[in-house]
């Protein structure tokens, strides 16, 4: 069984809460009785202090329970941080970006079991979304939502068609590497319009052209990376079930590429579009 962070935190809340409850119902009354007996017998202050002292496990549980509970609630229902480990969403997201994800954009779900309890909204075309990889739900992926339920998606000669309509692309500029500051040969930034949602993406000349079409099933979404020629997405493994959606990415709060060993300060606080 795979234990993710939410599961570990839920178990921690459960264990510390049970210890606190048992102490309040069983152990604390016994301590209070012993304290009252010592006070009646005029025992030394040293003995009274020893009697008043809570067991270390109880002390830690009472200290950590509210903190872990608050973090679990915030992370499960409001905002969750993620780190971008790959370049599949370049130029929108870079390797080393730490992002924030709105957890209630697509409905409120119970932690651990991921059961939706409140339907607030649905994904829109063009959203940058985090989801659990359908082939291995223990792994989180991030891509752009291209196709909604019922859409016919076609990808021909590196051009996207949705329900027979061509999504306009416009060449912007050569892609410049953040490491060297030099253009990468054959890699170009394009602007694509997804029925009113404009975003940047990359094309790399010389890469094999993957042509194909798909009808998006009900309750599923077709996703693609903005680094179109270097993304493992719905073109290869299919659509994302609605229950696998985690939330909508909305901001980069930090960028730290461990391999490069530096912080990209200008990306901090940038809005994800």
Q: Say whether 266 is catalytic.
A: no
Q: Locate 29 and state its tokens.
A: 């009354």
HEC per residue, the chain: CCCCHHHHHHHHHHHHHHHHHHHHHHHHHHHHHHHHHHHHCCCCHHHHHHHHCCCHHHHHHHHHHHHHHHHHHHHHHCEEEEECCCCCCCCCCCCCEEEEEECCCCCEECCCCCCEEECCCCCCCCCEEEEECCCCCCCEEEEEEEECCCCEEEEECCEEEECCEECCEEEEEEEECCCCCCEEEEEEEEEEEECCEEEEEEEECCCCCCCEEEECCCCEEEEECCEHHHCCCHHHHCCEEHHHEEEEEEEEEEEEECCCCEECHHHCCCECC
The pairing of beta strand 245-257 with beta strand 97-102: antiparallel
Place of tokens 């002390």: 59
List the catalytic residue out of 61, 103, 105, 143: 143
Query: Angle, nearest 10°, between helix axes 45-52 and 28-40?
Result: 170
Q: Say whether 143 is catalytic.
A: yes
List the catalytic residue out of 76, 88, 231, 234: 88
Count of alpha carbons within 13 angstroms of residue 257, beta-carbon side: 13
Residues recognised as catalytic: 88, 143
């Amino acid at each position: 069984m795979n234990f993710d962070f939410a599961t570990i935190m839920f178990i921690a809340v459960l264990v510390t809460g049970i210890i606190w409850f048992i102490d309040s119902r069983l152990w604390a009354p016994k301590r209070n009785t012993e304290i009252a007996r010592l006070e009646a017998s005029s025992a030394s202050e040293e003995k009274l202090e020893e009697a008043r002292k809570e067991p270390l496990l109880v002390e830690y549980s009472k200290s950590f329970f509210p903190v872990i509970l608050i973090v679990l609630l915030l992370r499960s229902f409001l905002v969750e941080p993620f780190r971008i480990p790959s370049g599949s969403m370049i130029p929108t997201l870079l390797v080393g970006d730490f992002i924030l994800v709105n957890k209630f954009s697509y409905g409120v779900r119970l932690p651990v079991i991921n059961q939706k309890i409140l339907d607030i909204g649905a994904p829109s075309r063009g959203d940058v979304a985090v989801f659990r990889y359908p082939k291995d739900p223990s792994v989180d992926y991030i891509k752009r939502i291209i196709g909604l339920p019922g859409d016919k998606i076609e990808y021909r000669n590196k051009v996207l068609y949705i329900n027979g309509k061509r999504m306009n692309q416009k060449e912007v500029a050569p892609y410049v590497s953040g490491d060297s500051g030099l253009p990468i040969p054959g890699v170009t930034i394009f602007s694509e319009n997804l029925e009113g949602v404009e975003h940047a993406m990359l094309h790399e000349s010389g890469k094999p052209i993957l042509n194909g079409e798909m009808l998006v099933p009900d309750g599923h979404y077709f996703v693609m990376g903005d680094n179109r020629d270097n993304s493992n997405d719905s073109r290869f493994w299919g659509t994302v079930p609605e229950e696998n959606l985690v939330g909508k990415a909305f901001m980069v709060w930090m960028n730290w590429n461990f391999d490069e060993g530096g912080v990209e300060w200008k990306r901090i606080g940038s809005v994800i579009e």
